Amino acid sequence: MTRRLIVGTGIAAAAVGAVHLALGGYVARRLIAPRAAKPYVPVEIDGDTVSVPATSESRQPGTYGVWLDDGTHLTVGEIVRDDGARIVRSILARPDGLVDGSARGAWTSQSIGAPEEVGPTEHVAIPLRRGGDARAWVIGDPDAARWAIHVHGLRSSRSGALRSAPAAHDAGWTSLVVSYAGDEEAAPAEALPSSLGMREWRDVDDAITYAVEHGAREIVLVAWSMGATIAMLALEESRHRGAITGLVLVAPALDWNRIVARAVRGVHLPGSVGATALRVLESRLGSRVLGLIEAVDARALNWVDGSRPAPAVPTLIVHSLRDPVVPVTGSTAYAARHPQVSLVAFDATGHCNEANQDPGRFREAIAGFLRGLPVAG
């Protein structure tokens, strides 16, 4: 009887362990999954308003965008009317040729439709050491010595990072807004999962090289969410890290342990599932099953309370106290440990919505930081 009890307990434990591993694998897959295609849904354009389906995103306050399926971008402002099933918002700038009536559109936080809305723009291709090139925008004076390189986050694109370019333009810095491995523009295509910055940083390093070769003598990395992981890795490994004179980090991913723990807590799973997900990512078998080119040691991507040193450059962090994806506790702890770091806290809802909900303060915080950096001798 005792033997049967022991065997039964072992089988039950094995079953629980298998379920736990499966959940951990699911969390890991969701974490690194490529960006899903934009869902284009019915929208109604009527004069200076657009009606969109009611969702938690379309109900957010502030300035956002709607991409129509013909490539037209609408910058939309505050809510005019909430009918329950649909939200009516103002159109802040009606594009030429836009006609009233039914269309199909996708909601986006990308409130700026094109780099030319920020300043004079050159569309460029950055040669990559792994072969091929990555598309980018150079905004401003291409012969300037001070460049801000804008790095978007996970499941985003350079159109998302474009939101920080107006601040750099205000401060007189040239902007380079880049794409990198695994996003929707740079090969390999978006079918590849993210490596949480461990592979992507090399493409951003190639962008740094491009800037240096085109006259940049001072570079500030303006990095959004996972872009902060990329920026920190670039500062550790870049061939031109001596040219990087500052960091601007928006809702930065500085500790993936906290991010994964927040994600599993948000779906009411035990914290141990998050730990399992991180172990799956760093294992050779798990990474192969997930389609990764190499294993990802996400637990080591921790600059908050891990062993990685902080870069010794002036740093501005912009982060909402209510960020539901990247816990602000990582930013506050990081800023508390490092005197060269300043934190500007926002009260925006959603992740990386600081620029959408308080654009004036967001723009001035970054522009003021860039203006305050001493000119290199």
- Nearest-10 crossing angle of helices 256-266, 271-282: 130
User: According to the model, what pLDDT value does residue 191 have?
Assistant: 55
Q: How confident is the model at residue 377 (pLDDT cuts 50, 70, 90)?
A: low
In the three-class reduction of DSSP (H, G, I as helix; E, B as strand; rest coil), residue 53 is classed as strand
pTM reported for the whole predicted model: 0.92
- The pLDDT mean for the chain works out to 89
pLDDT at residue 313, rounded to an integer: 95
Q: How far is CA 211 from the centre of its chain?
A: 21
Paired tokens of 4: 């049967």
Is pLDDT at 202 greater than 60 in this prediction?
A: yes
Distance between CA atoms of residues 145 and 245, nearest Å: 12
Q: Does residue 188 surpass a pLDDT of 50?
A: no
Q: In what order do the strands lie in the sheet with 315-320?
A: 121-127, 133-139, 174-178, 146-151, 218-224, 244-250, 315-320, 341-346
Stated as kind and residue range, the H or E segment containing 64 is: strand 64-68
* Cα 180–chain centre separation: 12
The β-bridge partners of 147 are 174, 219
Least confident of 113-127, 205-219, 280-294, 305-319: 280-294
The answer, yes or no, to whether residue 206 has pLDDT greater than 70, is yes
- Please give the backbone phi and psi of residue 320, each rounded to the nearest 5 degrees, phi first: -80, 140
Amino acid at 286: G
> SS3 for 16?
helix
First to last CA, the chain: 82
Q: Is the model's pLDDT at 10 over the cut of 50? A: no
Q: What share of the chain is helix, strand, coil (3-state, %, to 5)?
A: 35, 25, 40
pLDDT at 287: 79
Q: Pick the more confident residue, 269 or 48.
A: 48
Question: How far apart (Å, rounded) are the C-alpha atoms in residues 159 and 179?
Answer: 9
Predicted pLDDT of residue 18 = 62
Coil, strand, or helix at residue 259? helix
Average pLDDT over every residue of 268-273: 82
pLDDT of residue 125: 94
Per-residue pLDDT averaged across 188-202, rounded? Answer: 78
Between 26 and 363, the higher pLDDT residue: 363
Instruction: Give the pLDDT of residue 6.
Output: 47
Between CA 186 and CA 72, with CA 40 as vertex, the angle to 5 degrees is: 70
Question: What is the structure's pLDDT at 20?
Answer: 59
Percent of the chain with pLDDT strictly greater than 70? 91
pLDDT tens for each residue of 38-57: 789 999 999 999 999 999 99
**Backbone angles phi and psi of 139, in degrees to 5:** -115, 120
* pLDDT tens by residue, 14-42: 444 566 577 866 777 788 787 677 789 99
- 41 within 8 A of 53, measured Cβ to Cβ: yes
Look at residue 7 in the predicted model and tell me its pLDDT: 45
Please tell me the predicted confidence (pLDDT) of residue 67.
96
In the chain, the domains with their CATH numbers are 41-108 (2.40.10), 115-255+301-372 (3.40.50.1820)
Mean pLDDT of 229-237: 95
- Residue 347 backbone zone (phi > 0: left; psi -120 to 50: alpha; other: beta): alpha
The CA–CA distances, whole Å, from 63 to 2, 108, 218, 322, 345 equal: 67, 10, 32, 18, 19
Check residue 28 and give its pLDDT. 72
Residue 337 has pLDDT above 60, yes or no: yes
Question: Do the Cβ atoms of 313 and 246 come closer than 8 Å?
Answer: yes
The pLDDT of 106-133, averaged and rounded, is 94
Distance of alpha carbon 96 from alpha carbon 111, whole angstroms: 17
